[in-house]
Chain A
Amino acid sequence: MLLSVENLGVRIGKVEPLSSLSFTLDRGEILGLVGESGSGKSLTAMAVTGLLPLIGGRIAEGAVMFDGTDLSKLPEDRLRPYRGKRIALVTQNPMTALDPVQRIGDQVDIMARLHLGLDAKAARARTVELLTRLRIPEAVTVCDAYPHQLSGGMKQRIVIAMALAAEPDLIVADEPTTALDVTVQAQIIHILGELVRERGLALMLITHDMGVVAQVCDKVAVLYAGRLAETRAVGPLFASPHHPYTTALIDCIPREGMARGSLTGIPGLVPSVMSYPSGCRFHPRCPRADATCERTIPETRTLPDGGIVSCHHPLGGDHG
């Protein structure tokens, strides 16, 4: 297993916005990490890439096992060789992800120069080749451009090129398409999916779009308010979701033949870190909640298909 997150807990100051999160991801797989805003998706990305200290957070418990090493125990200087070289990050907003005063080419070149030890010329040749592979027209000209001269979709391709440049094993993509036009979204997701199949990368795709999950992911981890609700392979998850929250998320996807106005949201809001409810954190919004849900945190159960669900009253009936 390339990446195995075990019982991960993240602390920022006095609050613990993410607790007891576990999932695994292997080469050639795409894991979708879904949940509403504030559910801890981005924090998971920061924890895996070792960037939590930048936002004043730290891994308080659990382990991030990457290729046999527990990254959560490594000091910053031993962690840095992993960043960029073996674990790459694609951030949410391509508009602000690139250094606005540095040329595109230089920003991508540095990856090959730093991590693969190439000289300037070889690195540039690699960059041009990479950009061409990502279907960026006139890659040589683009290398001399500044970020503000490119469109959002183009910039996100540059960010992806940067992530790929040092041939990492794992790419963490934090909502890579949220800030883009719908038409461009599909292209970017397609490119990412293709890269995983071609190069045997592992991709952790953070999104709140269940449609994207259904399209490209192999498995899914559903987060709610800093805890894992359910993690399954993508087929079974959509066929028979066990957690009521998963069901609610799937019901939010618009489908063909739907009556006008029948698209439902989930009533209520994700609670803030400061005021997580007792017991199951989803209970105030859950149609199946009862007194138990208010008092006790549901234990995680392993399902026959290998998935994990954490609910007192899961759907699907066969284990309830």
Chain B
Amino acid sequence: MLDYLIRRVLLLLPVFLAVSAIIFLILHLIPGDPVDNLLKVGSGPDARAKIEAKYGLDQPLIVQYGMWLGNVLQGDLGTSIITRRPVSSMIAQVLPNSLMLGGFALLFSSIMGIILGIVAAAYRDRWPDQIIMGGVLLGSTLPSFWLGLLLILAFSVQLSWFPVSGARGWESLVLPVLTIGLGGMALVARVTRVSMIDAASRDFVLLLHAKGLSPARIRLRHVLRHALIPVVTILALRIGWILGGAVTVEYVFARPGLGLTLIKALAQHDYPVVQACLLMLAIAVMLGTLLGDILQALMDPRVRSAMT
């Protein structure tokens, strides 16, 4: 297991290098020049050259990449072209918000989704299943920005239970977490239901019944364990998505976060910030996949055997 872990982590290195190179290059291929934003109206080519030299923009791309990567590895993500603040401190400011939102949303969608999936599978094709699956269909088709607005209307404006916006305190977390979590819950519930039904039809389940175990025990201790293997994989893949994909929700709730920072920086052609945000998201996706693989190996001895 430890062998596998080390090998799996080492494998991430080339992936990280490739991803970082792509992130670096993409931004240099997009049209638009940030220097334009910095120049005062009417300044001459001298002023432009000065600014370009200051940010290293006059060097060849490969040198720029080397410099950038070297700094990144030392924790220096550069200085924002627009705000002139160190990018690392900007990220450090918004990342906890994003992690908190994403983490709780993931937790909410996993727990609720798995429970609903189990119930739906247990009552397959009867009314509890139909109600849950109907709700799930609704939940997965509602756009999150609209759902967010509905929740604000109901719980903030009408009932005044939670604040409308911001990132202060636990109360401000509830509605955004629900907005993101409900969509994820729908996905998890659907996958759990299908894979519960699939796992319940395997041969060994028949023998478990023949052994005289109670149906509840069979469902929760054996079938669920198998059913969760694909669910965990999907959840792990969602980690990166939730961090970056929360942008609409961050927008609706005016919550500072990674997604919002990224969108703002893109609009302002603020390269260092965009690169840092993308890098964070890429790392989140990579760590999510790693976590998914590790969990899968922990859950399935056949996976563990296959890797040695």
Contact = CB atoms under 8 A, between A and B. Distances in A.
Nearest to A53: B209
B195 to A, nearest CB: 14
B146 interface: no
B204 interface: yes
Contacts of A114: 211-213
Contact of B207 (A80, A97, A115, A149): A97
Contacts of A28: none
Interface stretch (B237-245, B255-263, B299-307): B299-307
A81 B213 CA distance: 9
Interface residues of A, number: 30
A80 B212 contact: yes
5 contacts: A91-B207, A91-B210, A100-B204, A101-B300, A146-B302
A102 B222 contact: yes
Contact of A97 (B204, B209, B226, B300): B204
Interface in B286-308: 299-302, 305
Contact of B302 (A80, A96, A148): A148
A85 B212 contact: yes
Contacts of A98: 204, 207
Contacts of A34: none
A241 B258 CA distance: 82
Given A101-B226, A149-B305, A84 B203 contact: no
B212 A93 contact: no
B209 A148 contact: no
A99 B209 CA distance: 12
Contacts of A110: 211, 213
Nearest to B203: A96
B7 interface: no
A111 interface: yes
A159 B301 contact: no
Interface of A: 49, 51, 54, 80-85, 88-89, 91, 93, 96-102, 110-111, 114-115, 146, 148-149, 159, 162, 166
A99 B222 CA distance: 8
B212 A115 contact: yes
B11 interface: no
B225 interface: yes
Given A81-B212, A101-B225, A89 B300 contact: no
A26 B203 CA distance: 29
B210 A93 contact: no
B54 interface: no
B206 interface: yes
Nearest to A77: B214
B208 interface: yes
A12 to B, nearest CB: 15
Contacts of B299: 101
Interface in B222-246: 222, 225-226
Contacts of A82: 212
B211 A83 contact: yes
A91 B203 CA distance: 9
Contact of A91 (B206, B214, B300): B206
- Give the 8 A-B residue pairs with the shortest CB-CB distance, closest first: A84-B212, A89-B210, A96-B203, A83-B212, A146-B301, A84-B211, A99-B204, A97-B207
